[in-house]
Structure 1
């Protein structure tokens, strides 16, 4: 598995670089400039800034329609779903069509990250490799995870964070059986990417200053601010998607409308084009006026919500880093206005802000901390980064705003369900029963119930409905057949009483109740209020208990 992880790392790097080159070629061939998207937008006339994103959205939407027709309803096209919910098989034609749509959206100025399609293509290459080798499902899933980690590593120059992104967000586990191959793939991808001509990291990080102990408190406050902002961002994404869906427009027109919004905003602020790499690098190395930063944040927010909400294919990972940097820098400028003697420059708050916003939005603080550390290679950043990221994570979690990734939300809801099931007791599974008789029930009454219900036991209760035991069918049958029906004349339920079926109490946990069923080997068991108060509440069926137990173990 480790050897094939090396191959997956190389294939993931090749797929990522191919997408990057195609993006550069498309801008150069169609728009005449192969530089950054912001520089490209600034070079275009105002009318073209509006028209290009709208036209790109129309074409991208048409490609998405094609992708839907190529796909099958039961197929998991997204790599996260293929790893967690599927069998690791990623459809080729549908993925290529979606990647082409993403390529057009990004090249035409859509305010979305390119890393989404890069990782998807890298995962596709790993999936094809595993299918060619006829890997079993579990190994195929791990190999696809290796490809995804390689793609993210090649996109951000962060092998450790890339590996932990897949482990923490996608797999939800850092078990060495799966993390080991993923780490190998990430390392190979990073080495291969650095060997390519013209390679340079996406972010040029300045040297992080030394932060005094007292100043860490300010970074905690930054974490609170960015946690609240992250929650608003996640809710905004959800509302934007709902808003565009309510328009009932065809998909191409929806994406064209989103592109038109981006184009209108870029008339005044061309910085909203693309994923924001160049803007972040500029803010980290030069002083921007706070008013301009504030306007850029507002403009980029609307542009991103319009692009993502319209249904464009791409990543929200890079925009999250953008917002964290902008808001962190604004916070740092405010701190220097109130406390000029602060040791950390505003850009330091911007760097920490990138990690804090990402930790809250992805609900993966460990990955976010590692990513910023790898980008800066500075130990000085760790204390403020950890404090801000953990606080932002818990702020977003406490607001129940979800996550940028549906699979994380799915896993979170499943964890809530597990906790609910663990906290539940037998009372939630109790069903009423009609096979109950008083102690004074005669032979005719008991026989009638046995004939009406296909059971082997009748439950016997006293006048206060307290469980006394059971009447087994075999004893009643024996009394009627051995010496004739006359032998049972005058006898009542208490004469046939057996205590071979111990009841379940309403506060008994699932494991203990399941053990009772294993010992009894029946389909149902009586449930009483408690040992000291054996009031009969009903019965629990083995099927319902097993279904609950399976849901708990998923």
Structure 2
């Protein structure tokens, strides 16, 4: 808990430094605190260039951060979150400490020189690197190391968005991929600590002034549901387009990697000249759109422009997140959708701004499939409880639709394209690719469901497994019973306690004989007892037993 507080404080300070760097570089390259707030104007530092300075800003920025990333930390390139997910899933939470410094400078230079990316992905990687570094210094266990990395991610999101709850759920939903009381407590401490520091530096107000949300008519729930489905398709489309542009940049570029951002900055500069609203993160443009400040045609142009500008920034080697761009795209989509339904159903459609807010959460959920984070962050940004019901409806539908459309998210797709499956074995791992059926043990003698608890206790004490399969009177498999469950039942009041094994049998998470061992290990680690039954894929009947010892024997077999 003390380490979580230290990580939270470090990430909070890191967030302050990072935002200061962004503001400094933005003012240096554009002459404005946020050029997206006054698009099309000239740079006061070079008034003779007029608005054409945007042709040079990305090139100069690329000349600075390109060599920096290529020389010191190549993992700082891109949007950052996939690298953190990989470190937690397959590298024991180990992240190089230099990533924090390089990511801070590279992302600030990218955004300050016009890169159309977000600051949330970088601060997640920065906070996670701080957590990993502290874990190494204090020599914590691998499990604690992963938790400290998640604390850094939670703290980064909390300080950046002034959204402590969103930081917690982002860390558990996307970084850890699991929920536990310990993880929740630690990430809350880190998130609260970072939020306190962030609020001391930036104030208590949210950084986006979004319109008030209200539902005017029950028919709007149907419209919000449809928006959720449409938003999922747009979120998935954004993911595909992002990597399509990255592939195109890889195919075109044949020079040294350190020079790629500068040369690619010419193309980005042309986009910024045509659509200066794409300069930097673009929160002023997003805010204006949610208040109905743009015509429908221009909203569509902003939507497509953001997809192109963000994809190009990442494709040429820039450093920045895709969280904020997905919110931006969602706001544009929601505004267009809201204007359309308002024209079709003026009596029941309600305010356009409501659809913009729902679109923000739904597109992010469609792209990242993090529904809890999407709900919580929009709630914290708006402070409106009335948004919860329609937001939950749209986001759940967006998540489900996204899952039907694609197996990957915007984060996991980057790793899969590199041949990395977060649910599979790490590259070169001794345990992973083997099939469960090749390493499993013979199935222990099952217990009939009519066995008394006293007899079951004797049999479990002799089995050495800590759990045994249970069959009913017809010989059909019904689940397993653990020594812990039997011991707890025997300790209860006699009149209230179960008396037969069948009353305690529960089906465990399934492990199939043709399943990769790396996937089965996740089930084995979380299972009660020392093993789990292995089921036949065709009939669902137990054919063997997977224990920790049998999994380790796979190492000897492959040696």
Whether TM-score is above 0.5 comes out as yes
Partners of 2:90 and 2:422 within 8 A in 1: no
Q: Secondary structure at the match of 1:348?
A: helix
2:321 is the counterpart of 1:315 = yes
For residue 34 of structure 1, report the CA deviation from its aligned partner.
2.9
Match of 1:363 in 2: 369
Q: Secondary structure at the match of 1:196?
A: helix
5+ residue gaps, structure 2, are 44-49, 426-431, 441-510, 518-535
Alpha-carbon distance between aligned partners in 2 of 1:364 and 1:408, rounded to the nearest angstrom: 16
Match of 2:249 in 1: 244
Question: TM-score, with normalisation over the residues of structure 1?
Answer: 0.72
Match of 1:107 in 2: 112
One of 259, 263, 267 as aligned partner of 1:261? 267
Alpha-carbon distance between aligned partners in 2 of 1:425 and 1:69, rounded to the nearest angstrom: 36
Partners of 1:272 and 1:303 within 8 A in 2: yes
For residue 341 of structure 1, report the CA deviation from its aligned partner.
0.9
Q: Secondary structure at the match of 1:66?
A: helix
Q: Secondary structure at the match of 1:342?
A: coil
2:375 is the counterpart of 1:372 = no
5+ residue gaps, structure 1, are 431-507, 515-526, 531-538
One of 400, 406, 410 as aligned partner of 1:394? 400
Match of 2:187 in 1: 182
Change (3 A) 1:548 1:379: farther
Q: Secondary structure at the match of 2:350?
A: coil
Which deviates more, 107-116 or 249-258? Answer: 249-258
Match of 1:463 in 2: none
Alpha-carbon distance between aligned partners in 1 of 2:243 and 2:304, rounded to the nearest angstrom: 18
Partners of 2:82 and 2:415 within 8 A in 1: no
Partners of 1:429 and 1:540 within 8 A in 2: no
Match of 1:226 in 2: 231
Query: What whole-Å deviation, never above 9, does each CA across 1:57-96 have from its counterpart, x for those lacking one?
Result: 232222221124899xxxx994333322223332123442
Match of 1:191 in 2: 196
2:282 is the counterpart of 1:283 = no
Change (3 A) 1:549 1:172: farther
Partners of 2:241 and 2:307 within 8 A in 1: no
Match of 1:492 in 2: none
Query: What whole-Å deviation, never above 9, does each CA across 1:206-233 have from its counterpart, x for those lacking one?
Result: 2101243222010111011111111111
Match of 1:292 in 2: 298
Q: Secondary structure at the match of 1:84?
A: helix
Q: Secondary structure at the match of 2:140?
A: coil
Partners of 2:439 and 2:554 within 8 A in 1: no
Number of aligned residues:
439
Question: TM-score, with normalisation over the residues of structure 2?
Answer: 0.71
Query: What whole-Å deviation, never above 9, does each CA across 1:429-477 have from its counterpart, x for those lacking one?
Result: 99xxxxxxxxxxxxxxxxxxxxxxxxxxxxxxxxxxxxxxxxxxxxxxx
For residue 542 of structure 1, report the CA deviation from its aligned partner.
10
Change (3 A) 1:120 1:244: same
For residue 540 of structure 1, report the CA deviation from its aligned partner.
11
Match of 1:97 in 2: 102
For residue 55 of structure 1, report the CA deviation from its aligned partner.
2.5
For residue 405 of structure 1, report the CA deviation from its aligned partner.
1.2
Alpha-carbon distance between aligned partners in 2 of 1:189 and 1:79, rounded to the nearest angstrom: 19
